[in-house]
Chains A and B, each alone.
Chain A
């Protein structure tokens, strides 16, 4: 059977233009190795679900099926189970978000809420302002809807309001339409920083004055290591902010349950969009979460998670301080899962990844968290999954890799900003690493 001009995919000319960006890459393939037990993966953002009592989770799952099986295994409301929505309000109250159960839509992880909001607000070419860097999963959604994504600078206090205002002015002066300001104010993924209270008020004011909706993504808000959880933006503006929350980090990511708290008009649209996309979120998963919240000391469990992650954060920071070569910088997260590392001048984290994988340590290169090629000098390190000893071993290996790369950079004089072939591609990781 001869092959005449085959591209091995008979539908290749039928795909939408936006699907052209959906392809594999060498970097993505490298992450396949990160799943091997020999590799210390500082790449994945997987919560440490082993901290849960599996016996209790099994009892809950069995009880849901035994006592409410007919409901759990059936279609449900497109907006989500009403009892769970009431319970979600107990959780959002921890970050100051007070609302009515009708203001909530339950989604298949907050990732789906991101998709619904973007689909509802954005036409192709509309601008979405995001932090610099920003969550890779959100960038993927914005790209899928053909949004024009523009990064806005951050510092150790998060998104910089003055730069946000300047960006809005310049984008509008260029005749473009801005639809959303997307922000992760607390324990940022990937930057590890948190917006100060003053910044939050300024950002709210800018959103209100400019008439741009703020999309607040807050999966880590309850996972702080010091004091009370940061007050959400939505707590001080119920009309201008769409708030996204998730059980993925505080209970179990595998259940895929998140939510959006949205103003009335937006919520109506989101429910219709959700029904068009999936009919309804999983009833089984919702009832499992609901039963967990009703019967388990979830606040205590969150404290337990905080302790686990704080110990791991400390192991990471102490190891970085002790072992990384001079010129390496990193953020100090006060919660969440991540620290954002800046390599010494001249190093490229994407180009370095093959060597790191060969030395059995993995991270996510910074370019995956930008749409415009920035981030080559950065990497995201996650401390959520490996135990402290593994983290220390991972940093030891990573420090050795960086030393070797420094030597090569010195040899070849590859100055900062030099483009290394093969690194122009997106370093976008898969869902288990996002």
Chain B
């Protein structure tokens, strides 16, 4: 394909991660929004496979919009490749993506800025095998206390995540987390209001979007609750008093800057009964599907997804 005079934008989605389906939906939605916002641009969609590099070499897009969720898309690997090829892309650089994608690393860096982070322990599967799982689980749960959350250190969409309320359920939760990766994070569970805060930077510095309050029907914002219309109730702006709303925005902006993120991010937090804002994680390629949180926040801010993505490209 020869290069045309119109600006060439390539939306990358799919990949081989467990979030492939979500990514494909995000990609289609963003590509459509971009075509609508900028009909003068040529917007193409592509999967990430062995044909990508030859395609990039020939096609040389003016900008890539990476919407791959999970490993390769968010861990910085693909962005490293794009940087190597000197192809501009929307979103955070590879180095920052690596930090953000690793939940314990991101939590530690954000915690160092003074933001509250629920206590956590990070253990690879080999530790349980070498030291004996019962003893390790007893020690960890003794320190963290129940209820606790077990999750893979890398990955999204709540895949492999369990809330554990009793000791007897902990082994199965560990097995579930290890199905998605070699290392698990065991973290204190915070009861409270679950929120997601988008941060965008359209050229005038990072700005926090209105927080989205998440009220899942079943009480847990799991995969079903995330991607089934009707399974979760959303409020945007969240039902928070001004002080808490401001604190929530500050945490998202702090996380965005502490990790060196660019263009867009989505930070997930919980506000407990005392009004403390607890940082959970940050996403460099947040979902953009019909039920995703960032598009809701963009809409609540009076903006359009296509215009926002176009401004990043510009």
Which residues of chain A have a CB within 8 Å of any CB of chain B? 1-9, 12, 15, 23-26, 28-30, 32-33, 36-39, 348, 351-355, 357-358, 360, 407-409, 411-414, 418-423, 425
Q: Given A12-B230, A26-B157, are A3 and B175 neighbors across the interface (CB < 8 Å)? A: no
Q: How far is the CB of B158 from chain A (nearest CB, A)?
A: 8
CB-defined contacts of A23 to chain B, threshold 8 Å: 224, 228, 231
CA distance A418 to B134 in the complex (A): 16
Find out whether the CB atom of A421 lies under 8 angstroms from the CB atom of B234.
no
Interface 1/0s, chain B 149-184, versus A by CB < 8 A? 000000001011010100001011111101110000
CA distance A332 to B239 in the complex (A): 59
- New A-B contacts (6) at CB < 8 Å, excluding given A5-B235, A26-B222, A418-B171: A3-B235, A3-B300, A4-B235, A7-B232, A8-B234, A425-B224
Q: Does B29 contact A (CB under 8 A)?
A: no
- Given A411-B133, A419-B172, the answer on whether A354 and B229 have CB atoms closer than 8 Å is no
Residue of B nearest to A9 (CB): B229
Cβ contact of A29, chosen from B21, B291, B300, cutoff 8 A: B21
Q: Is the CB of B176 within 8 A of A351?
A: yes
Q: Is the CB of A408 within 8 A of B223?
A: no
A1 touching B235, Cβ below 8 Å: no
> A354-B180, A408-B178, A421-B169 in contact; A413/B18 too (CB < 8 A)?
no
Query: Whole-angstrom distance from the CB of A28 to the nearest CB of chain B?
Result: 8
Q: Which residues of A contact B210 (CB under 8 A)?
A: 2
Q: How far is the CB of A262 from chain B (nearest CB, A)?
A: 37
Closest 3 CB pairs of A and B: A12-B230, A9-B229, A32-B21
Point out the residues of chain B lying under 8 angstroms from A32, CB to CB.
20-21, 24
Min Cβ gap B308→A in Å is: 14
Given contacts A2-B237, A9-B229, A24-B228, contact A412 B133 (CB under 8 A): yes
Quick one: given A7-B230, A412-B128, A421-B173, are A354 and B18 in contact (CB under 8 Å)? yes
Bound Cα distance A409, B237 (Å): 44
Once bound together, how far apart are the Cα atoms of A38 and B47, in whole Å? 13
CA A8 to CA B228, docked complex, whole Å: 9
Cβ of B228: which chain A residues have Cβ within 8 Å of it?
Answer: 23-24
A421 to B302 Cα, complex, angstroms: 39
Residue from A5, A355, A422 with most neighbouring chain B CB atoms (10 Å): A422
Give the residue name and chain of the B residue nearest to A11 (CB). B230
CB distance from B41 to the nearest CB of A (A): 25
Could you say which residues of chain B place their CB within 8 Å of the CB of A6?
233-235, 296
A33 and B20: CB pair below 8 A? yes
Which B residues contact A (CB, under 8 angstroms)?
Answer: 16-22, 24, 49, 125, 128-129, 133-134, 157, 159-160, 162, 164, 169, 171-176, 178-180, 210, 212, 222-224, 227-237, 290-291, 296, 299-300, 302
CA distance A420 to B175 in the complex (A): 7
Contact A38 B160 (CB under 8 A): no
Closest to B223 in A: A26
Residue of B nearest to A3 (CB): B236
Q: A413-B171, A420-B176 are in contact. Are A8 and B300 (CB under 8 A)?
A: no
A23-B228, A26-B159, A421-B162 known; A5-B233 Cβ under 8 A: yes
Taking CB atoms, residues of chain B closer than 8 Å to A1 are 299-300, 302
Among the listed B129, B227, B230, which residue makes an inter-chain contact with A411, where contact means beta carbons less than 8 Å apart?
B129
Q: Give the residue of A25, A360, A422 whose beta carbon is less than 8 angstroms from that of B162.
A: A422
Please give me the residue from chain A that is nearest to B17 by CB atom.
A33
Contact B175 A409 (CB under 8 A): yes
Other-chain contact of B171, A24, A354, A412 (Cβ < 8 Å): A412
- B133: chain A residues at CB < 8 Å are 411-413
CA distance A8 to B173 in the complex (A): 31
Q: Which of A5, A355, A409, A420 has the largest number of chain B CB atoms within 10 A?
A: A420
6 A-B pairs (CB sep. < 8 Å) = A7-B231, A15-B230, A23-B231, A39-B16, A412-B174, A421-B162
B16-A38 in contact (CB<8A): yes
Query: What residues on B are CB-neighbors of A422 within 8 Å?
Result: 159-160, 162, 176, 222
A29 touches B173 (CB 8 A): no
